[in-house]
Amino acid sequence: MPVTLLGIGTALPSHRLSQAESAAMAQRFSATNDAQAILLRRLQRRSGVAFRHSVLLAEAAGALPDRLPFYADANPTTAERMARFAAEAGPLALRATSAALAAAAVEPEAITHLITVCCTGFQAPGFDLDLIQGLPLDPNVARTQVGFMGCHGALNGLRVAHAFGQAEAGARVLLCALELCSLHQQPGWHPERVVANALFADGAAATVLAADPSAAGATAAGPRSAGPPWRLLASGSTLLPESADAMAWTIADHGFEMGLSPRVPALIAARLAPWLDGWLAAQGLDRAAIGSWALHPGGPRLLEAVRDCLDLPNRAIEPSKAVLKECGNMSSATILFILDRLRLAKSPLPCVALAFGPGLCVEAALLG
């Protein structure tokens, strides 16, 4: 039995950086000479990101160093970054989950399972406790944390939600993916990290799911959507061979460090289509049958590589490009932002969601 997405909610921090401000910040953090400063400005222009939100930003009226006091005088330790995570994660997650519950017309006390997804912060108790106390949820809610899975973490979370929905009659699952990527800005000149600094941003997204949508207070699609309900039909995963060194996410003394090889788009482009075709065939489908695509925007080069290797029209990647432009790469939360945009636009079904993470691993979800 498929699991129905009853509603999706998203939330962004109050303040954001423009591309020009982001370039100025990058020069301050990473450039040691004029040549590097020129390269950083060019990188920002090519990033596809117009704005990035951050929980660390102060009011927009101040100068850049005053707007980003967390990094003003030193390179914060991992402990300092995690203390800030503990303070900021709960309020942002509460905004996203409250929006999802409202969109689903489901009362908080009806939630039986809570799944939290995050790879940018760890604490125990975590922001799951903030949600239980703040929404509030039933204290008997079953909690599951999907941690450190990278940009495809929300798709892992959807697989878990599907299993819960199948296993327990009447299950109502709340999934929240939250990432505070700006806590892990890295100073100095390092080719892979300056790319990550230009792309990643903060955001949270949540969804409510159920195998039996009839208990929702409104239609199964939720009051924000006039279209048919979206159902999670299947999920898939594959590990690309000989690619483990192409992407990494490691905990260091001064935050979490991203390793992002320029080989990533080519590796995915070379191996994605054969696997995807086989997975779709197992669902009785082919690429031509897919009505819309939710593609994680790891960056513009990756989006273009996926478009080209799957022989997709430009319009297929436009929702992903729009989210990247407006919000940046919010790691695991991003795919739910894209799915929300597609649902509200009444995009045709079936829809395939694809995201990529360290491994290299490809995660897929089929919605219809």
Residue 67 has pLDDT above 90, yes or no: no
Domain ranges of the chain: 3-215, 230-367
pLDDT category of residue 204 using cuts at 50, 70 and 90: very high
Predicted confidence band of residue 188 (pLDDT cuts 50, 70, 90): confident
pLDDT for 297-308, tens place per residue?
Answer: 999 999 999 999
**How does DSSP classify residue 310?**
T
Q: Classify domain 3-215 at the CATH topology level.
A: Peroxisomal Thiolase; Chain A, domain 1 (3.40.47)
pLDDT at 220: 41
Q: Is the pLDDT of residue 217 over 50?
A: no
**To the nearest whole percent, how much of the chain has pLDDT over 90?**
81
C-alpha separations of 8 from 4, 12, 118, 166, 173 in Å: 11, 14, 17, 20, 12
Beta strands in 219-281 (DSSP E): 230-239, 247-252, 255-260
pLDDT, residue 212, reads: 76
C-beta of residue 136 within 8 angstroms of C-beta of residue 316 = no
User: What is the pLDDT, as a whole number, of residue 93?
Assistant: 98
Count CB neighbours of 167 within 10 A.
Answer: 10
Q: Is the pLDDT of residue 226 over 50?
A: no
User: CATH homologous superfamily of domain 230-367?
Assistant: Thiolase/Chalcone synthase (3.40.47.10)
* Percent of the chain clearing pLDDT 70 (strictly above): 95
pLDDT score recorded for residue 32: 86
Query: Which residues on adjacent β-strands are paired with residue 115?
Result: 144, 175
Structure tokens at 11: 């939330």
Condensed to tens digits (0 to 9), the pLDDT of residues 30-65 reads: 888 999 999 999 999 999 999 999 999 987 666 777
Report pLDDT for 213: 66
For residues 134-149, average pLDDT: 98
Per-residue pLDDT band for 295 (boundaries 50, 70, 90) equals very high
Task: Give residue 341's pLDDT band: very low, low, confident or very high (50, 70, 90).
Answer: very high
Across the chain, what does the average pLDDT equal?
A: 93
Which residue(s) pair with 356 in the sheet?
362
List of residues 6+ apart from 296 with CB closer than 8 A: 151, 152, 320, 334, 335, 338, 353, 354, 355, 356
**Torsion 229-89-131-51 (CA) sign:** negative
Q: According to the model, what pLDDT value does residue 277 have? A: 98
| The pLDDT of residue 191 | 82
Cβ contacts of 61 within 8 Å, gap of 6 or more? none
CB 65 within 8 A of CB 72: yes
pLDDT higher than 60, residue 223 = no
Strand ordering across the sheet containing 230-239: 142-147, 113-118, 172-180, 202-210, 3-11, 230-239, 361-367, 351-357, 292-295
Q: Does this model's pTM top 0.85?
A: yes
Residue 221 has pLDDT above 70, yes or no: no
Average pLDDT over residues 233-262: 94
pLDDT of residue 227: 66
- Domains 3-215 and 230-367 are alike in CATH topology: yes
